[in-house]
Amino acid sequence: MKKIVFAAVLALFAGVASAEKINTGFFGNTAVKGYDVVAYFTENKPVKGSKSFQTEWQGADWRFSSQENLEAFKANPEQYAPQYGGYCAYAVSQGYTAGIDPEAFAVVDGKLYLNYSHSIADKWQGDRSNYILLANKNWPELGAK
């Protein structure tokens, strides 16, 4: 029963949040809910960004916890931006988009992956190579919508 309810909730969120190139949520234009994407790599943890250290990239606002992280992102945004436009990596592997919890993340082979929740991240980690292959296959179509 829990799986059916969860699938329905994810489907609802997927329907509401259209597959834009960068996931900025329902209200606003801030990527990754305002978290510093460089910090995932340099501190191996989620760190909230600040409006004081912000830039625009691919139509979204990206926030950082320091000038140094802002400059690193500006120098090479593709290196730090999350995969699949910041949508849930597991959802993309299943053929739809869903929001994320910035605390449910993994850095794999130098790439940032975000997931809807810790429980979904645990599931994704259980077969991540396969889920990454599936998501890589699905994203070109999902990301183009």
Spans of all domains in the chain: 2-144
pTM: 0.86
Q: Which pLDDT belongs to residue 20?
A: 53
Between CA 111 and CA 89 the distance in angstroms is 12
Residue with tokens 């799986």: 3
Q: Which pLDDT belongs to residue 99?
A: 96
Query: Quick one: which H or E segment has residue 131?
Result: helix 128-144
Q: What is the CA radius of gyration of the chain?
A: 14
Between CA 76 and CA 80 the distance in angstroms is 7
Q: Which pLDDT belongs to residue 9?
A: 43
Show the low-confidence residues of the chain (pLDDT under 70). Answer: 1-20
Q: Which residues pair with 108 in a beta bridge?
A: 111
Cα torsion 27, 5, 10, 89 to 10°: value is 130
Q: Which pLDDT belongs to residue 5?
A: 42
Q: Which pLDDT belongs to residue 18?
A: 39
- Determine the residue type at 125: Q
Between CA 89 and CA 114 the distance in angstroms is 6
As given in the structure block, the two tokens for residue 143 are 């990301």
